[in-house]
């Protein structure tokens, strides 16, 4: 099935990040690093590798750090040039290269009224075409095919709104939106319902929706209604749910390593894991970890 291509991606980054206070008091949590790169840069790299041409960042009050990150810093370049630090200059060049490959537009969500509202803020820039949504604090790394590309490919074959889904242990279903599936084929599940944060007994499956979406324009028509849901916030999942039955919705069981950096334990776990995977850091960290665990042999 071929429809219009998915060219635009929305990055909602206007949440208050209260689970990360105090560090999020004056900067978005999307600028917190995984080792040495902000999570939002991982997301932008994924979007570009998936064929996205336009990025729309929806930010709140403290957007400066994100704008500055994707902008050139001539002062820093000059400083590094004078000192012959080509090793560091190439890191700046990589960021510059990203902003040359996509147009980045910044929009302000005037009040944090929920993820659905943040996405709706971008409606005029999206127009009448399908678009992607990436939540930067869900970092998903895949060497073969970026997760967003996996979703876009599923959208091309099904013409559906697409959710990224992953199997989670039963005792964790209450932290996620869980999909109820109709038929399934090759890791693509027809979605017949989505239940927000169900108890283990009430969960219709163990397939949890994570922070990657391809949305049909119909979802924006639902968001137009501005109906608040859980927590009195406008929920993206509610709008997607209301399109089920009229428009196809599928969940893609994606391939890739998933890191939830939106909570302090998840963030620390992601940093440790990626640091241990990196040559040069692993050699320093491994003895330290062994030393720290020495007093707790049961954890080894
Ligand atoms: P979260 O549920 O993680 O909320 O938002 P949060 O406000 O960022 O963090 P906590 O719960 O207070 O710690 C999911 C995504 O939706 C964006 C966030 O920036 C994050 O990427 N979001 C959420 C908005 O852009 N606007 C909102 O009003 C709410």
Domain boundaries, the chain: 8-262, 263-295
User: Mean of the per-residue pLDDT values for the chain?
Assistant: 93
| Ligand 1 centroid distance, CA of 193 (Å) | 23
Probe residue for ligand 1, chosen from 115, 175, 261 as the CB with the greatest number of ligand atoms within 8 Å: 115
Q: Indicate which residue's Cα is closest to atom 4 of ligand 1.
A: 15
**Residues near ligand 1 with C-beta < 6 Å?**
12-19, 58, 109, 112-115, 117-118, 135-137, 262
Q: What is the mean pLDDT of residues 238-248?
A: 96
- Three-state DSSP class for residue 263: coil
pTM here? 0.94
| Ligand 1 centroid distance, CA of 269 (Å) | 20
Phi-psi region of 127 (alpha: psi -120 to 50; beta: other; left: phi over 0): left
Q: What is the mean pLDDT of residues 151-156?
A: 97
> Is the pLDDT reported for residue 300 higher than 50?
no
Residue 138, token pair as written in the block: 């869900």
Q: Indicate which residue's Cα is closest to atom 5 of ligand 1.
A: 15
For residue 296, what pLDDT band results from cuts at 50, 70 and 90?
Answer: low
Reply yes or no on domain 8-262 having CATH 3.30.70.2740.
Answer: no
According to the model, what pLDDT value does residue 297 have?
54
| pLDDT per position as a tens digit, 34-60 | 999 999 999 999 999 999 999 999 998
Q: How far apart are CA 165 and CA 178, in angstroms?
A: 9
| pLDDT per position as a tens digit, 122-135 | 999 999 999 999 99
């Amino acid at each position: 099935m071929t429809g219009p291509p998915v060219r635009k991606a929305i990055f909602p980054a206007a949440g208050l990040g209260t689970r990360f206070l105090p560090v999020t008091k004056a900067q978005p949590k999307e600028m917190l690093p995984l080792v040495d790169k902000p999570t939002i840069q991982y997301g932008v790299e994924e979007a570009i590798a998936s064929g996205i041409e336009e990025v729309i960042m929806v930010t709140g009050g403290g957007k400066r750090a994100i704008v500055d990150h994707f902008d050139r810093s001539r002062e820093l370049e000059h400083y590094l040039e004078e000192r012959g630090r080509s090793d560091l200059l190439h890191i700046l060049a990589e960021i510059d290269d990203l902003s040359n490959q996509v147009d980045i537009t910044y929009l302000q969500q005037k009040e944090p009224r929920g993820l659905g509202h943040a996405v709706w803020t971008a409606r005029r820039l999206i127009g009448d075409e399908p678009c992607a949504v990436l939540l930067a604090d869900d970092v998903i790394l895949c060497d073969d095919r970026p997760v967003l590309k996996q979703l876009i490919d599923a959208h091309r074959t099904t013409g559906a709104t697409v959710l990224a889904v992953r199997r989670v242990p039963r005792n964790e279903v209450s932290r996620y939106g869980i999909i109820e599936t109709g038929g399934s084929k090759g890791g693509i599940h027809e979605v017949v319902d989505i239940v927000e944060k169900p108890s283990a007994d009430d969960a219709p499956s163990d397939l949890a929706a994570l922070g990657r979406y391809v949305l049909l324009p119909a979802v924006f028509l639902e968001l137009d209604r501005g109906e608040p849901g859980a927590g009195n916030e406008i929920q993206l999942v509610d709008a997607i749910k209301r399109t089920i039955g009229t428009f196809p919705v599928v969940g893609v069981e994606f391939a890739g390593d998933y890191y939830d950096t939106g909570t302090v334990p998840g963030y620390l776990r992601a940093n440790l894991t990626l640091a241990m995977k990196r040559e040069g850091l692993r050699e320093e960290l491994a003895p330290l970890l062994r030393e720290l665990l020495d007093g707790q042999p049961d954890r080894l």
